[in-house]
Every structure is written in C-alpha cells, then in structure tokens.
Amino acid sequence: MTYRPGNNSFSRRPEKKISRLFSGLAVVAVVVIFGSLLVQGLTSPVLYLTYPLFRITNQLETNVKTVEEFITSQRRLLAQMGVLRQQVATLKEENKILKLKDQILTGATGFSLATSSKNFIALRILSRPSASPYDTLIVDTSSVSNKIKVNQLVFSAGGVALGRVDIVAGNSARVALFSSPGHKLAVQIGGEHTAATAEGLGGGNFKIVLPRGVMIKVGDPVIAPAESDNPIGVVGAIDSSPADPFQIIYFKSPINLYELVWIFIKV
C-alpha cells in the first residue's frame, strides 16, 4: 500500500495570517508617518512665508491703537486747555472789575474827598435802603441844617456819586439815590464814552439799553459826567441775542448801600 505525503497547509495558515496582519500594520504606519511628514512639510513653508505678514499686521494694529489713544488724549488735553483759557479770561475780567472798584473806592481815579474835604460835609446815615423806601437814605443834618439844600450831590467816601438831596426837613434830609427804580440818568459807558441813559433798578443796580452793534464788555466803567468824573458803576453783565437788535447792559454801583455809615454832601 502506498500513502500520499502528509499535507501541512493547514498548519501554515496561522503564520500567513500573522504575516499579513503585520504587513497591514506596517503599511498603515508608513501611511500615517508619511502623511504627517507630508503635512508638516507643506505647513512649515506656509507658516514660514506668512509669519512676517502676521507680524506686520499685528504691529499695524498696535500702531493704530497707539495713534487712536494719542489723538484721544490730545483732544482731551485741548478741551481742558479751552476750559482753562476761559477760566483765565473770566478771572482777568473779574480782576479788572475788582481793580476798578478799588480805584473808585479809594478815589484813585482823580477825585478824592481827602484832598477836597473843605467842599464837603460828612453826614451820618440814620436809615438806608430796606429800612427807608424807594432806594433812599435818611441822614442827620442837625449840626449843619442851614447848609443842606435840595438837589445837592451826595458822594461816598471814595467820591462815588450816589444821588441827590430831594427833601430837607428840620434836622434830617432825604437822599434819592441814582439807582432808585425808574430814575433816569445820563451816562457815558465804555472806552469810547458812548452816551446812554441809565435806568435805576434799585439796590445800587442799573440797566442801559443800546443797539447790539455798540461794543460794550463786562468790566467797562460807567460815568455820569453831569454828576462826577468818577465812575458810578461797572458793567457786570450783558444780555444780547442775535434775534434782538438791542442789548441790555447791567451795571452796579461799587458801593454797598446796605453797609454805608457816612455820606458826603458837596456844598
């Protein structure tokens, strides 16, 4: 009897399967590694080429923000400077008014009772505005009653014209102040000495109505030439509107009428 040689194909199948499995894994590994290298190889040149562009863009954005911040800070600074200039201008005007008032009160504008005392009589005030009606003063004339007459001019110690005597009765007299409500007074105002009519508003306050084209500014002196060479007041406010052909100028006596103790009458 003869026998066929033994068949070992069955025993070799597991080895082939293992070999194929390793081959597949190797292929996958090669593909993954190659793909990764390929992607990195493509990405690196792109990043290399575009990096300067990104850097320039970032720098430009930074510069733009810096410029915007600079412009904003400059605008804020200019606004603050504008406010400060306005404050300085206001302070200059106020200082000008205070200097003029000081000159008026001390008689430094050319008229002083100290150098002309023989022409004036000092009278003590018995009643002043708020106690006496219609912006008037009541003064004691007991020692000089024979020298006091109606229409005599009345001044402050610094030579500011305040009003005129309008009633003399026994040992007292009444002085009607120029600022009495409704009282009209011929004046000159401003550096050009513009002629105008002042109207009393009470309490040492006046107003003048002039065409809007007349240049008047806060701090300008107001003089009543028929009464005195000394200013009777200083412009404190101007009410002007483009729609109104006239402007209203308000001025006030530099004398606080409510604190007066003595007045001087020219004889």
* pLDDT score recorded for residue 102: 58
Within this chain, do residues 144 and 83 fall inside the same structural domain, yes or no? no
> What pLDDT, on a 0 to 100 scale, did the predictor assign at position 186?
95
Q: Give the bridge partners for 102, in sequence order.
A: none
- CB contact burial 165-186 (16+ within 10 A = b; e otherwise): beeeeeebbbbbbbbbeebebe
Give every residue of the chain whose pLDDT is below 70, as ranges.
Answer: 1-61, 63-65, 67, 86-118, 130-133
Residue 189 is predicted with a pLDDT of 93
CATH classification at residue 159? 2.40.10.340
Token duo for residue 237: 């406010």
The answer to whether 222 touches 207, Cβ cutoff 8 Å, is no
Give residue 73's pLDDT.
77
123 and 69 within one domain: no
Distance CA 41, CA 64 (A): 35
> pTM value?
0.57
pLDDT score of 54: 57
Residue 60 lies in a domain: yes
Distance between CA atoms of residues 154 and 113, nearest Å: 12
Can you say how many angstroms the Cα of residue 98 is from the centroid of all Cα atoms in its chain? 19
228 part of a folded domain: yes
Q: Are residues 135 and 226 in the same domain?
A: yes
**What are the tens digits of pLDDT across the range 24-67?**
666 555 555 555 544 455 445 544 555 565 566 666 667 666 76
> Residue 175: what pLDDT?
93
Q: Which residue, 79, 106, 133, sits at the end of a domain? A: 106
Q: Looking at the structure, tell me whether residues 149 and 258 fall in a common domain.
A: yes
* Number of domains composing the chain: 2
Dig out the tokens for 209 from the structure: 């109505």
Q: What is the predicted pLDDT for the residue at 39? A: 46
